[in-house]
Amino acid sequence: MERFDLYIDGSFDAGAARFASFDPATGAQWAEIAEAREAEVDRAVAAAGRAFREGPWPAMTATARGKLLMKLSDLVQAAAPDLARLETRDTGKIIRETSAQIAYVADYYRYYAGLADKIEGAHLPIDKPDMEVWLRREPIGVVAAIVPWNSQLFLSAVKLGPALAAGCTVVLKASEDGPSPLLAFARLVHEAGFPPGVVNVITGFGPTCGARLTTHPGVDHIAFTGGPETARAVLRGSAENLASTSLELGGKSPFIVFADADLDSAVNAQIAGIFAATGQSCVAGSRLIVQDSVKAGMLATLAERAARIVIGAPGDMATEMGPLCTARQRDRLHGIVTASVEAGAKLICGGVLPEGPGTYYPPTVLDCTGLPDAPCLREELFGPVLSVMGFTDEAEALGIANDTAYGLASGLFTRDLARAHRMIRALRAGVVWVNTYRAVSPMAPFGGHGLSGHGREGGLAAALDYTTVKTVWLRTSEDPIPDPFVMR
């Protein structure tokens, strides 16, 4: 039985209690996890506050912070195979996915290592001849970074990297579902040599850990990835301390295919968009909107390809789809599929609970043409379920695509460049992928609007989210200040 501890103020901590972690592929317990409750949260936030105000971190140059991040990136790259195995064991994500993704996580830390001493202020050409005015960008303070179990090392990097580059300190909360990779990552933070309290890594349950962290008076900024309902609770909690927030929430991403598209490429991208990571991705291309003239052929190809997907043990490199992370997730997903079929959706493939151990669910395609309010079209499913709608022309495709409260990602397949530009302008989404899907880079901002949240992760925009602007006025004249009763 493996054991994982919290990381608070530069030391490992057994926590208030311990809870079990289960292998989604077998249902067997494999690890014990230290649980943070209110006392541990308080200690972590206090440690982050001290580290922000005192000691070596606030005195460190931006270049020195960048060197620490560069060392962390090297350690992540070296440990990537072990971290990938942990994430696969604890979450059920296939090893092909975790190996590639975690290896790329190191590049995010390298990017922010290089950006640390390039977060610049500005000199203002002020309209007063006896004044020099400039802007300083300063770290916002203590950051509560809260991530879900899926892609947790990646979702941590896009928060931790820019926050540390900006000079903040962080309390990083892992999900209670599958937290072992982040608790193991804490060992790399320790090895990299960050001063105590600069990075704290905890996990625990919503009422005793998450609620205390998001309402804590010592927290200045909350960076949250998760679902809209939890985000609402986070926002209500942030009213207690007036912390600023950045929210990366769910999606119901449209995947639009016109008849002139390269259909082979569109099918491959759609497979990647909904069945990769077993559909457990905020950018899952869960709504296929395909032109009527090619819809039947594309559905047939998708069904045939879905039948060939290799479902198996997530630790096997041959596996293409593993289990869902939790049983409650699978039960919810199957309930929505069943309700959608009862509402009139046509089941093209999948949709049947498999027998045997583990929380597996088959690749599922539902034709929902003419059923705009089918449950599978409205709710984020977070699983391998594709909902399909047909369309006749560009205007109808756009209307269907934007008929959602979410606005995170979108995909568009067409060879018509003018049409692509029209659609790019009109799609209400923070990310538009054209003739590709599910591509990311440290340099590219990522985020959405509406129920998909606000703020951006990635690129310079993310680092600026962790800063505040200080305006400095310096009077250069040696003459006495004029009339003190008149604002200058």
User: 68: domain CATH number?
Assistant: 3.40.605.10
Is the same domain home to 235 and 373? no
pLDDT at 488: 77
Is the same domain home to 14 and 93? yes
Q: What's the predicted TM-score (pTM) here?
A: 0.93
Whether 450 maps to a domain, the answer reads: yes
Whether 43 maps to a domain, the answer reads: yes
Chain segment 290-318, per-residue pLDDT in tens: 999 999 999 999 999 999 999 999 999 99
Q: What residues in the chain have per-residue pLDDT under 70?
A: none
Chain segment 114-124, per-residue pLDDT in tens: 999 999 999 99
Whether 129 maps to a domain, the answer reads: yes
Whether 440 maps to a domain, the answer reads: no
Is the same domain home to 409 and 291? yes
Query: Tell me, what CATH number does 313's domain have?
Result: 3.40.309.10
Name the active-site residue from 87, 97, 176, 248: 248
Q: Domain count of the chain?
A: 2
Whether 417 maps to a domain, the answer reads: yes
Is the same domain home to 243 and 326? no
pLDDT at 466: 97
Residue 38 a catalytic site member: no
CA 328 to chain centre: 21
Is the same domain home to 143 and 217? yes
Is the same domain home to 150 and 86? yes
Whether 349 maps to a domain, the answer reads: yes
Rounded to 5 degrees, φ, ψ at 319 are -70, 135
Is the same domain home to 218 and 322? no
Is the same domain home to 320 and 343? yes
Whether 481 maps to a domain, the answer reads: no
Which of 16, 9, 4 lies closest to 40 in space, CA to CA?
Answer: 16
The structure tokens listed for 56 are 């070596």
CA-angle at 202, arms to 4 and 193, nearest 5°: 85
Is the same domain home to 244 and 260? no
Is the same domain home to 269 and 239? no
Is the same domain home to 211 and 303? no
Q: What single-letter amino acid sits at 334?
A: H
Is the same domain home to 51 and 200? yes
- What domain range includes position 386? 254-434
pLDDT at 483: 87
Angle formed by the axes of helices 95-115 and 62-91, to 10°? Answer: 170
CA 11 to chain centre: 27
Whether 21 maps to a domain, the answer reads: yes
